Structure 1
């Protein structure tokens, strides 16, 4: 019979855990038999010693087995989902889900709320009056089966991989979030339990991403693709740059408005590009090869799906979005070229303005955030507005402006252009 202390010591000493040890410790932790301090010690041992592919696969399976497993493979359309590891201005899920649904797939998108410098998809959508994130499985199935909708973005139920939710809370306060095996299994346990038929991963790297280096992002992407393959879930990962924010907005309602611009055929070029790249990957995995998602943006059908999706979840697609009570602008002190715009600085400033949260459970301001008037490579002139800051609490402007000031520079030479998508792992 396994026990917590022997399992901790085995991993501490660099041994490979057996399937029985992994099953026992994950189940025991979920049921409260394994104490928080014991699982914290094991998580640190895993961070330092690592896990083999077989260990990580079994750990993921054990977390899935801790709760409910959904199955949407019997929907009228093939089910495909996307997961992003998060960044600043990353609003891609909002236009992507209705766009892929407009192309003939079903999109069961389980999303989360923001924490730290990264925004949360649910926070953004909750800025739409009436929209609700909490749906039953029956609600999800009904919406996904509706030929006029076909996409849902909602919160994961409490019964979906509960071991992961409990373990993540520990990892967050014990310095073990960075463990690749634990991070990969955390993401993939929820996505596999969700019951989609295939999965596309957007693994970001750079200043505004969780993974700072391309090498780290590639390691994480490879681990997740392998976990998908081991579970029989066709999975593809794209490595995308997050050195500078995506699009021209960061903040909840501001990003919703920008997403609607994309669905109406406009929007910033980088947001449109990544939306279409991910849509094509999702459609390829779903076996839908006779539709170009760019056509669905152009003909308005993606926008129709957005309106239907919002209404199906109780939202009013015609309602005005929240606007902050106060704004302040930052202008260019000199003429030249914007050579740098650090996504992390923008993300922290957005949180300071009230759009994000420092701790789980903090309230967010739906209208707070930052609008960008220039991106790296753009020419600017002295006195030109670079950023417009939005908040209901004007006493936060000074700190946000100070944070932002460390993240941008103006020079004489434009930086070399860099691709948005840099690699693909399958």
Structure 2
């Protein structure tokens, strides 16, 4: 359009027909908007009413499951307390094994102080060993029971934890749903969370899955309650049997101690006789060694003279350094003295070895006699007296 035509249109004034159409369209849009607002408001009230009914039903469902969980929680707490009492009883039974075991170990340790020939597997040793093994088996069994009870307590506490967690979550969910049931558009107070949390959570579950979670927790708690009852019956049976077995073996060991005393006395008398003869032979061997040493000292004096002569003759003038008969005799004398000294030193070493063997026998006999006397004291005094006040009690 040219500039002249535009000037003509502006001079003609606004297009009233066009303006009228635009105004009519605006009025129609306003009417349609009002109808849309009314329909949306009715729909919102209807949906809010339905949501209120669903929320109320949800709260009743939560309250029902909460009641079931609270009952099961009380039951599992009682089972945990009863297991703690039972565990303390088993621990006391385990402590009651310590004194009999200590006495048995003291007897075994005291009897270890005897010589190697004394450390034979006699009847006393066999009974003490069976007694020790029996008490240790009992202690190991009781310790295992304590571990089993501890594990059952752990499982019960795990079930308790999941129930408590489920109850806590349901308490929070009930509070939220109660708030939702009471919430209106007038009570939002500029809350912006509604629009932000409108989307479903990532870990959302179905109503059936939600109900199954609590059912699983209730079932696990019931299973642990049944396991607790079975464990209690087992512990009672073990406590009765172990006390009876320990009493029988303890009395059998006491009977075996008297047999070994006479044998210890006879062996001690024989060793004392051998000790007397060994000491006499030691004195003879010591005198023999002293005589050999004296002979070596005298021989070394002769060797010193011969070596001094050879040393002095080595200072002769060069032309006089000849291997004459005197030089040969001196060299032969040194060799002979050295050979005889070596033989006597060998004899001294042999005499020392024989004396060492005799002294070793003497020491061994003295030690054995001492151990025999100590063994007699151990069996007749120490072990008998230490075992007398020990009483195996029922657990």
Indicate the TM-score class for this superposition, using the shorter chain for normalisation.
under 0.3
Which structure has the bigger radius of gyration?
2
Q: Give the structure with the higher percent helix.
A: 2
Q: TM-score, length-normalised on structure 1? A: 0.16
Q: TM-score, length-normalised on structure 2? A: 0.17
Relative contact order, higher structure (CA 8 A, sep 6+): 2
